[in-house]
Amino acid sequence: MTQPRHQPGAPDSQGGRFRAVRKPAPDPRVKLEPPEEFDTGQAPDVETATVQELREQLAQHQPVAVRRAASINAFYHRGLADMAARDPDPLVRANALYATDLPAEERNRLAADPAVRQLMSVITR
Residues in contact with 55: Cβ distance below 8 Å, sequence separation at least 6, in sequence order: 80, 83
Q: pLDDT (tens digit, 9 = 90+) per residue, 6-26?
A: 555 555 555 566 666 666 666
The answer on pLDDT for 35 being more than 60 is no
**Local structure of 114: helix, strand or coil:** helix
Q: pLDDT (tens digit, 9 = 90+) per residue, 66-77?
A: 998 888 876 667
Residues in contact with 75: Cβ distance below 8 Å, sequence separation at least 6, in sequence order: 81, 84, 95, 96, 98, 99, 100, 101, 102
**pTM, whole model, 2 decimals?**
0.57
